[in-house]
Chains A and B, each alone.
Chain A
Amino acid sequence: KQEVTQIPAALSVPEGENLVLNCSFTDSAIYNLQWFRQDPGKGLTSLLLIQSSQREQTSGRLNASLDKSSGRSTLYIAASQPGDSATYLCAVSGVTSGSRLTFGEGTQLTVNP
């Protein structure tokens, strides 16, 4: 059974800092990996999707990497801003499960002005 772990559970940083969020998964036979952002009381917003054949994806100040063989992904946020404060969720789908996702518990990020 696939298990997804995110470290740290919570992170507080000053504005402007570069930071890394970590995600690990137990079964390397994944189809893709998605990073989501969740604001309090809101739904999930997809940030980046990495196919299993890819090593990284970039969108603006966000960069996500994938090392399938070691079961790890990182989300790098450059020059953090208070508006980046949210919970970041990592989720993976299996080779035969399409977009049926297994989620980690998330990292709650606070960026202080």
Chain B
Amino acid sequence: NAGVTQTPKFRILKIGQSMTLQCTQDMNHNYMYWYRQDPGMGLKLIYYSVGAGITDKGEVPNGYNVSRSTTEDFPLRLELAAPSQTSVYFCASSPYTEAFFGQGTRLTVV
């Protein structure tokens, strides 16, 4: 069972560069989420989606964009990377209640 798969696992980005963090799930869940976790902190919601074609902002959306063209995939786009975006990014999916998380992408912006 693959569950929620995130790629890449690690990435170093230069200031001003752009990248897409990939997330795919094989559980046919309608709900998908992107969170970021800064050192020693809990997770904060960036964006979420309640189904294909529907996305909405979470608590900390600035500097990010998302799309949801299929049920399975929910990529997170970083435009013009900044040092403040250095963090660990987690994707999650849910049938509605319980959330299932990927292994995370550790991103460093230098």
**Chain A contact residues, CB within 8 Å of chain B:** 4, 31-32, 34, 36, 41-46, 49, 51, 89, 91, 93, 98-106
Contacts and interface: CB of A to CB of B under 8 A. Distances in A.
Interface of B: 31, 33, 35, 40-45, 48, 50, 58, 90, 92, 94, 96-104, 106
Contact of B40 (A34, A41, A44, A105): A105
Nearest to B93: A99
Contacts of B44: 103
Contacts of B103: 42-43
**Per DSSP, are chain B's interface residues mostly helix, strand or loop, or mixed?**
strand
B84 to A, nearest CB: 19
Contacts of B97: 31-32, 49, 51, 93, 98-99
Contact of A101 (B40, B50, B99, B104): B99
Given A42-B104, A89-B42, A106-B42, A34 B99 contact: yes
A71 to B, nearest CB: 16
B33 A104 contact: no
Contacts of B104: 42-43
Nearest to A97: B48
Contact of B48 (A32, A100, A106): A100
B90 A43 contact: yes
